[in-house]
Amino acid sequence: MPARTLPTFTTAEVEAHSTAKSCYVTVGNVVYDVTDFLDAHPGGPELILDWAGKDITEILKDEISHTHTEAAYEVLDDAVVGHLNTGKKAGANGYTKGDANSKSTGADYDSSDVDSESTAVHPRTGMSCEEDLNKETDFNSDFKKHKFLDLNRPLLMQVWFGGFSKDFYLDQVHRPRHYKGGASAPLFGNFLEPLSLTPWWLVPTLWVPSVSYGLYIANLGFVSTAHQVAYFGFGLFLWTLIEYALHRFLFHLDGYLPDHRVGITLHFLLHGVHHYLPMDKYRLVMPPTLFVVLATPFWKLAHALFYFDWSVATTVFCGGVFGYVCYDLTHYFLHHQNLPLWYKGLKKYHLAHHFLDYELGFGVTSRFWDTVFGTELNMTPVVKSQ
């Protein structure tokens, strides 16, 4: 049987838990949450808080400062919450991450505690396959362990007032959770809540008639239908590149995200909430208002590039919008439907982007641009027997 898999933390993340409300310490590369033990500590909470966010190996051994009995170590055993990401073997769960300076592709995880026939569990997310995304999250234990967001309360204001560092936020928001019963977790918690929920069928209902009308009026400027079809196909192809660019450079603007609550909150609202709750049926497609905001500059771009012919520019734009419709529907179905054989591979690929490596695998409708730009995701974690 696989050993229990715990999350990994950076040194900065551990150091961020240095208050009476959230107090982490380390012994070697094992991370402990001792918040609940502060008031029960025989020497008083102040002694622990002096070491909050730090390694306590030496102070535990220091007989002059304070003699620690076996009971103290038993308390620590019950308080384990994860491991320090040092690039070396991570204690009890036995996973070794590959070269710390290389991009993680899901491979090169080693385990002495996992049977050679079992599937490797990713040390960051604790997941081994796409089915894990559907496992309901225990709200209370998740919040107690990670001190991130309480799924019982509206999420957006928690992000705004959370005081999270960028590194801690990015690590946590890319550890997928699943809301109970497949329902939607509260985002705003007020009258704005319905605006954040978009059923998949709204996308074709709104935009397919709009595309059809645009093509109809643009057709008047073409000599032949074949000519218009060619430009429509070009717009459709152009969308695949736009899709890749938006996903990689806007939705995953992670490395360039300001370490400030404004940037973090906007990131969460735009795409972070989807990675935090990837199986939420009503936050899988783009709300109409957001699409209009993003589509407006592309309308202007199309007419700037093809300034010589309004009909050509409009047809190219309509091809792009139709590509967007295909993208949003594909995205929904990859998460929630059983698909034909070709799509099954695409589904596995996209969901691996969620639970395996969010820094790779940006293509949703295809892997083409991932292959072109070298961001293709290796989806097969390797387990090596010792």
The answer to whether 354 is a known ligand-binding residue is yes
The answer to whether 178 is a known ligand-binding residue is no
Does residue 383 contact residue 120 with C-beta atoms inside 8 Å? Answer: yes
Of 69, 86, 75, the residue nearest 30 (C-alpha): 86
- In angstroms, rounded to a whole number, what is the distance separating the alpha carbons of residues 374 and 229? 31
The answer to whether 252 is a known ligand-binding residue is yes
The answer to whether 17 is a known ligand-binding residue is no
Q: 212-245: string of b/e by CB count within 10 Å (b at 16+)?
A: eebbeebeeebeeeeebeebbeebbebbbebbbe
Residue 180 tokens read as: 């109970």
The answer to whether 146 is a known ligand-binding residue is no
Integer angstrom CA distances of residue 123 from 77, 92, 117, 278? 20, 12, 18, 19
Indicate the residue type of 310.
W
The angle, 0 to 180 degrees and rounded to 10, between the axes of the packed helices 310-336 and 341-355 is 80
The answer to whether 336 is a known ligand-binding residue is no
The answer to whether 122 is a known ligand-binding residue is no
Binding site for heme: residue ranges?
41, 68
Residues flagged as binding site:
41, 68, 247, 252, 271, 274-275, 331, 335, 350, 353-354
Binding site feature residues for Zn(2+)? 247, 252, 271, 274-275, 331, 335, 350, 353-354
